[in-house]
Every structure is written in C-alpha cells, then in structure tokens.
Amino acid sequence: MLTDSQTDRPTDRPTDRPSDRLTDRPAEMSDVDFRYNRLIQQIYESSSARVRIDGNLSGRTATRKGVRQGCVLSPMLFNIYSEFVMRQELDNWNGGITIGGSKISTLRFADYTTLIAASQEELVALLNVLEQHSAAYGLDREHDNHREIKSIGRCEVVQSFVYLGSLIDNSGSCENEIRRRIQQARVAMTKLTKI
C-alpha cells in the first residue's frame, strides 16, 4: 500500500500502481455487477495506512495510490485490470499465428504475457500497440525481461530461455528440455541421503 510519501517512487509492477482508473470505471472493465463494483470502490476510497518504525506506530495517512497489500481482492483486481487493458489493445489486432483455426497473438499466465507474431515487423507493431495502451492506463511494462528467438532491436537475442519452468529453444524441439529435466532429477537424487 502506498502512502503520500511513497507515491513518487518508480515502479514497473501493475499491482503497485493500478491507477485511479481501476476504481473510477470498474463497470467498463468487467461483467461484475455494478453493486459489487461500487462496494470495491468504497473499500479503496476509504483506505488508509499506518507505518511502524522501531515499534512506534504513525498516525493514519490516506492512501492515494495502490492496492491493499494482503487483500484477497488484489490479485482479482489485477487480473480484471490486466485483462481489460489487453482486450482494449487487441480488439482490432489482426496479427498473430493461426493454430487449429484460431488466431493467437498472446499467451497470458498470471502476470506473464507472451506476444506471438508471424514476423519480426508484426512483433514490433504488437509491442508498440501494447506499450501505448498500457501507458494510457498507468501500466509500465518491463523491458528487462524481454527475450525472443529473433532480434527486434532492443530485445536480447537468445538461442533458448526458460519460460514458466520449460526450456524454449529456437529449434522447436523438446529434446533439450528433456535433457535438462533429466539432469535436474539426477542432481536432486544425488542430494538425497540414505535413511
């Protein structure tokens, strides 16, 4: 939770600064009943924070930005917000690849987003669209973690990388992933001690 003194710190995490737009226009962002949206707004409008330093507790300070840390709603609000922004970005996007008759331009899991394009130029265009719409909603995307098989300029070119626990390489084969998993199992087994 961010207090007045913390609002100017830089951050790249959408959960740290979901912007006032999240509670200003929640009905646009999901199919959740308006009454629940209003309840969520009221929770965040009246939130405050206290800081403990060396055992001393400060007075209450109004929270101007952020989500309630530890609140069970925070992950859900992040997902609603992120999905809304992605839909806005990709509504008119015709790029991506076709698998089984369906057009796919992103894979999303938790706070990981993988952009998928048929060409380098298309990937650059998709990244630019993503950045423009994200900035409009107060999200700053991290570029330090961008990795891809072919170069698109500012991204690091790699032969392989681990994504969600699996090794992805430019050959499209799973042979290296199988070898890696066998090696991990071998290392784990050698660490076991006799009972």
Residues 133 and 146 in one domain: yes
- Range 21-27 average pLDDT: 50
Q: pLDDT of 62-110, one tens digit each?
A: 776 665 566 667 777 777 777 777 887 777 788 888 878 888 888 777 7
Q: Are residues 105 and 73 in the same domain?
A: yes
The predicted model scores a pTM of: 0.51
Q: Name the domain count of the chain.
A: 2
| Claim to verify: residue 80 and residue 173 sit in the same structural domain | no
> 166 and 89: one domain?
no
Same domain, 78 and 154: yes
One domain, residues 90 and 13: yes
Position 11 pLDDT exceeds 60: no
Residues 184 and 126 in one domain: no
Residue type, 46: S
Burial 113-146 (b: 16+ CB within 10 A, else e): eebbbeeeebbeebbebbeebbeebbbeeeeeee
Owning domain of residue 189: 159-195
Shared domain for 96 and 186, answered yes or no, is: no
pLDDT tens for 73-83 read 777 777 777 77
User: Which carries the bigger pLDDT value, residue 57 or residue 158?
Assistant: 57
Residues 119 and 179 in one domain: no
Shared-domain flag, residues 97 and 58: yes
Question: Per-residue pLDDT for 185 more than 60?
Answer: yes
Same domain assignment for residues 73 and 94: yes
Domain shared by 20 and 88, yes or no: yes
The predicted-structure confidence for 124-170, as pLDDT tens digits, reads as follows 888 888 877 777 776 665 554 444 444 445 555 677 888 788 888 87
Q: Which helix (H) or strand (E) holds 99?
A: strand 97-99
